[in-house]
Structure 1
Amino acid sequence: MAGFGPVTSSSNQATEPEAPFKTLVAEGVPELDRRLSDELDTVNAAATEGVAPARELTVQIVDDGGVLAAGLSGWTWGVAAGIGMTWVSERVRGEGLGARLLAAFEDEARTRGCTHVFVTSFTFQAPGFYERHGYHEILRWEGVPTPTSADVHFRKEL
């Protein structure tokens, strides 16, 4: 695993166990992400026996040449669905592709037994878009990621 080396601050040294443990800090480690996801999937499956397992759900819209014009990625798990990322190319914004993405995602989430969808949008992204499509604000975290913006969380009943 790549990393920048052990953390050496005195506050960490006082509370960390002795060797053989090291604390590594890095920009990003895809292998670690995969391992954590696998480990959490195992724990979550055991804790939610009988519930539909977590599954990825993606929607793509491509033009006649196969070039991606819009996409959405998320997940379903039990009765919940979550949207992680939504993107529409600037060249086709305002043509209804975002609405098509949402409709296709919500339809498949219903098919999988979901009763609601969660999504997060920063105020400089698309909170109005989600509100226009029936999403209701459930949490607003002011000052994130900048002092003048907010992280807005939405939920929609399917």
Structure 2
Amino acid sequence: MKRKIAALIFLGTGLAVTGGAVLSNSGPEDAPALELSDHMRGFLKDEMLQLAVAGRGIEEALAAEDHASVQEFASHMDKAFIMQQEVTTMDLRELELVLGKEFVERDKEFHAMARALEAAAKAEDIVGERKIFGDMLRACAACHQDYAPEAPVLE
């Protein structure tokens, strides 16, 4: 589990550093995310860092079966949601134009999983918590594979 969260953190940092996604096999200098404004890349970087911190906390809380902390960190993950920050309609259009609607949908789905994790933690369902968190990690890895393949994946 520690390796999985380390990969999540590393991937999140990789996306934050590159500013977004790469949808082709061309070099990082050709990444569509580089076309995002500094403003939008800042939002993505902030979200990835918040998700990494919360993910670390969830991993530790799951190991201790600390449902209250899992619930709190899952809530933090949901609140890191870029669409709920100070993002304008034009910012959202920029995201969709550069990264595509699928990226936005995946981000929404990820945050829905965070809400499901929060609910499982509230119900003190450790099996559900672990399953949902595993699903979240797989969603992170899949999204990064599609949008930031140049970001190294830890084993």
TM-score (norm 2): 0.30
Looking at secondary structure, tell me which structure has more helix per residue: 2
- If asked which structure has higher relative contact order (CA below 8 Å, sep 6+), I would say 2
Q: What's the TM-score once normalised by structure 1's chain length?
A: 0.30
